[in-house]
Structures are given as structure tokens and as C-alpha cells.
């Protein structure tokens, strides 16, 4: 893929996200429209799109500082991608500028060609001064909408700065080692044998120094490991499945936690998901791991469509949420979410949790799990649930804030008395 095509496709993806669309879905659609793209091309497109969104606040402010009138949206998106390339990558500067200017010539009758050229060349001349000037604006300094920044300062007064730092970091590639095949120490030796650097985070977790194509790692096809964030790996130890238990994995896709609980114990797992395509991913992951679960496509809160009346020993309720804790891995989330979203999703979670509670046997346990750091979906959700259910007791709860090793998650283990 030429640099020109990379810029153009990345600019298109930025425009779609700013119009309210999920980046992963946008990139999937672009790849379908361009079957000629190689694995390396897709990686380049992924890097440009994610990188631009990771630093969108800064890049948008840079454009504002260099023009009194913003160009047309598609040209503006092109400028954002090109500025990201100039400031954060090792792409040849002359090539970045030339290709962006050439593409601008083809848009809107070339009206913004000179503006594009002037902005990019000015940035190269005055980079330090321009970047310093952006730091007086919080959105540019922290690359986060102002409402979200205010929220973090209020709810996490001691940790908000570290959270913001984590949001701009590239997510690490972390592996969960399949207990049926070995542990972290043993797999680290396998990695060292193929010159892949990594370090141990836990007894069955290693973090790679640099991301690597999973197909190039030993044992992937044979199910020796799965790629899973370290924070996400904390769920199943808390649920602590036991041999012979019947466990429900509600909202199971893409199946990382489903596989983990089957690696943890010889249990009987029912995995639900409302989307068949996503459920197919669960099946594919389980087949690679050589594990089995009962898969069913259904809305977990609509008990009449799937529940047979037999209660479960344990339930993993990995409920839909704003995903505010995984913004490091999905930087589009920062610009897609709105101030009231956490309240709306929390309300939607309530009926799901209440219905799932009916399927849990007395003496059983439910693990409420989210990949959010918004308290409406977490601590406040737990408090409301306990108030509604006299037979519910909190055993423990944890907020995992995003850092260099993990994304952000919330877990609450609830016993049914």
C-alpha cells in the first residue's frame, strides 16, 4: 500500500469515527472494500487510525492554531492523519507532505491544496512552538474530552493523571498461558527460544516487550496460550470455578473468559451471546484451545428464550458497558462517548442483572464484571443491586485502573444467601 492510500484510508476512518461509528467496524468495512490490502497494509492502516485518535485532541488544536477557517471535513481529517505522521512516526516528512497535498488537490476542486501545504510545512518549521502553545488547552494536553477529564478529576482525585497517561500509551500484548499445557515460566522459555522478549506478570501470564503476530508465536495453533489483557485475566480467579460446577457465561463473546474458566476447572459452561457472529468467535477460540462449552445465541436478559429452569452454581455477568476502561486499546471510545452514557448503560444493566440473578442457585455466586471505570456502571451499580436483592451479599469488589500493564476493569463478587 502506498503512503497516499494509507493516508486516504486512515483519513476516511477518522471521519467515520467522528460521525459516531466504531473504529473496529469502520476498519473491517474498509478492509472488505479493499481486498488487495496485505497483512502489512492492514497493520499500517490500523496504526495510523489508532494513533491519530489517540492524540486527536492535540492534533485538532494544532490545526486550529494554524488556520482561521477550518477546511472541509475530509481535508481536515487528512490533515489530522498527516500531522500524526509528522509528529509521532518515522515516515519520511517530504513524502507525508507531498502525498497529502496531492490528495488535497483532488478534493473540492483543489480549493484546499495550498492550505494543506501551508499548514504541514508550517508545522515542520514551528513544531516546538506550536506544540507548546497547545498545552494551555486541556483537551489537547490530555487528549480527552473536557467532560471526561472533569469526571476523572472528581471521581479519582489521586489517580486521574495516571489514568490519562495510560490512555495515551500503546496497549501491551499480554498472553494467558493455558494451564493444560504449562505455566508462565515454561512458556517464557519457549519465547526465549524463538528470540521473543517478554516478562512474567503472573503464574500464567506473560507480557511481550513488543507486539508480535500470534501466528509466529510457539503453540498458538495448538491452544497453548490466548491473547488477553492482564486486567481481563483477573476475572476468573475471582469467580474461582470448581470441578463439576454448572456455570453461565452471560455476554460471552469473544470468549476469552469462557476459555479461561474451562482452563481453570473441569466445569460445565453455558456461553450466551446475543450476536451469532460474535458467538462464532467464541466457538473458534474454544476449538483452538480444544475446550468445549454449550453455546447459545440469545439475549441473556430474555430468560424465556434460553433458560431451562436449572439453576447455575456460578454466573459471570460481563455486562455491556461504556468500555471507558479500555480507551488505551480502543482510542475511538474517548471521542464516541457522551456524558450521560454511563447512566444510560447502567440502567440497561439493571434488568440484565436482575434476570440473571433468578437463574443462580442459593449459595451460588455472581461476578459482576465491566471494562469501565465509570462509577455509575460499577460501585453505584453494585450498591443498587444489593439494595434490590435481600438475598445478595458482597464478598469482594475491585476497581482496576488502567496502567502500563493493563486496561481498566471493575469486578464485584456477589453471593446468593
Catalytic (active-site) positions: 371
User: Concatenated DSSP letters for 297-341?
Assistant: ES-TT-GGGT--SPPEEEEEEE-----GGGTTT-TTHHHH--TTH
Strands (E), 78-231: 174-177, 198-202, 205-208, 225-227
Terminal CA-CA length for the chain: 60
Q: Cβ neighbours of residue 66 under 8 Å, at least 6 residues apart?
A: 118, 119, 122, 123, 130
Residue 43 burial (CB < 10 Å; 0-12/13-18/19+)? middle
Q: How far is the C-alpha of 69 from the C-alpha of 288, rounded, in Å?
A: 54
Give the residue ranges of DSSP H helices in 135-250: 138-142, 146-155, 160-167, 184-193, 235-239
Measured in degrees and rounded to the nearest 5, phi and psi for residue 393 equal: -130, 130
What is each CA distance from 305 to 56, 107, 157, 176, 253, in whole angstroms?
43, 51, 44, 33, 18
- Beta strands 174-177 and 225-227 are antiparallel
Could you tell me if 237 and 230 are in contact, meaning their C-beta atoms sit under 8 angstroms apart?
A: no
Please report the sign of the dihedral spanned by the C-alpha atoms of residue 335, residue 338, residue 341, residue 342: positive
Omega before 357 cis (within 30°)?
Answer: no
Could you tell me if 324 and 334 are in contact, meaning their C-beta atoms sit under 8 angstroms apart?
A: no
Q: How far is the C-alpha of 85 from the C-alpha of 74, rounded, in Å?
A: 17
**Closest CA relative to residue 61, chosen from 115, 116, 152, 142:** 142
3-class SS of residue 373:
coil
In the numeric block, the cell 464478598 is attached to 395
Q: How far is the C-alpha of 53 from the C-alpha of 414, rounded, in Å?
A: 37
Measured in degrees and rounded to the nearest 5, phi and psi for residue 248 equal: -100, 125
Amino acid at each position: 500500500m502506498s503512503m497516499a492510500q494509507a493516508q486516504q484510508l486512515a483519513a476516511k476512518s477518522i471521519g467515520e469515527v467522528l460521525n459516531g461509528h466504531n473504529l473496529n467496524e469502520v476498519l473491517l468495512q474498509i478492509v472488505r472494500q479493499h481486498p488487495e490490502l496485505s497483512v502489512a497494509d492492514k497493520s499500517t492502516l490500523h496504526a495510523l487510525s489508532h494513533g491519530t485518535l489517540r492524540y486527536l485532541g492535540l492534533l485538532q488544536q494544532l490545526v486550529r492554531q494554524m488556520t482561521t477557517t477550518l477546511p472541509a471535513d475530509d481535508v481536515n481529517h487528512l490533515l489530522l492523519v498527516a500531522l500524526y505522521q509528522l509528529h509521532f512516526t518515522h515516515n519520511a516528512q517530504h513524502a507525508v507532505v507531498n502525498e497529502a497535498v496531492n490528495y488535497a488537490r483532488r478534493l473540492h476542486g483543489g480549493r484546499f491544496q495550498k492550505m494543506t501545504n501551508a499548514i504541514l510545512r508550517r508545522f515542520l518549521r514551528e513544531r516546538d512552538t506550536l506544540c507548546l502553545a497547545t498545552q494551555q488547552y486541556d483537551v489537547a494536553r490530555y487528549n480527552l474530552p473536557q467532560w471526561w477529564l472533569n469526571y476523572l478529576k472528581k471521581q479519582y482525585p489521586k489517580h486521574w493523571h495516571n489514568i490519562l497517561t495510560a490512555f495515551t500509551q500503546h496497549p501491551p500484548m499480554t498472553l494467558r498461558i493455558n494451564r493444560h499445557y504449562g505455566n508462565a515460566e515454561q512458556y517464557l522459555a519457549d519465547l526465549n527460544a524463538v528470540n521473543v522478549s517478554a516478562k512474567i506478570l503472573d503464574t500464567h501470564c506473560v507480557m511481550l516487550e513488543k507486539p508480535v503476530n500470534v501466528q509466529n508465536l510457539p503453540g498458538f495453533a495448538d491452544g497453548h496460550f490466548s491473547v488477553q489483557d492482564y486486567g481481563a485475566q483477573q476475572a476468573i480467579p475471582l469467580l474461582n470455578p470448581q470441578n463439576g460446577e454448572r456455570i453461565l457465561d452471560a455476554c460471552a463473546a469473544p470468549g476469552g473468559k469462557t476459555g479461561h474458566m474451562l482452563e481453570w476447572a473441569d466445569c460445565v459452561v453455558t456461553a450466551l451471546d446475543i450476536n451469532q457472529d460474535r458467538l462464532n468467535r467464541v466457538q473458534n477460540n474454544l476449538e483452538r484451545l480444544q475446550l468445549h462449552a454449550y453455546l447459545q445465541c440469545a439475549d441473556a436478559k430474555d430468560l424465556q428464550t434460553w433458560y431451562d429452569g436449572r439453576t447455575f452454581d456460578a454466573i459471570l455477568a460481563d455486562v455491556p458497558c461504556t468500555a471507558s476502561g479500555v480507551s488505551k486499546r480502543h482510542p475511538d471510545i474517548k471521542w464516541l462517548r457522551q456524558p450521560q452514557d454511563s447512566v444510560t448503560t447502567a440502567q440497561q444493566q439493571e434488568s440484565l442483572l436482575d434476570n440473571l440473578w433468578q437463574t443462580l442457585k442459593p449459595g451460588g455466586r455472581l461476578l459482576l464484571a465491566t471494562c469501565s471505570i465509570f462509577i455509575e456502571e460499577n460501585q453505584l451499580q453494585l450498591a443498587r443491586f444489593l439494595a434490590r436483592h435481600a438475598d445478595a451479599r458482597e464478598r469482594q469488589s475491585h476497581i482496576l485502573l488502567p496502567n502500563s500493564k493493563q486496561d481498566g476493569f471493575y469486578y464485584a463478587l456477589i453471593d446468593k444467601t
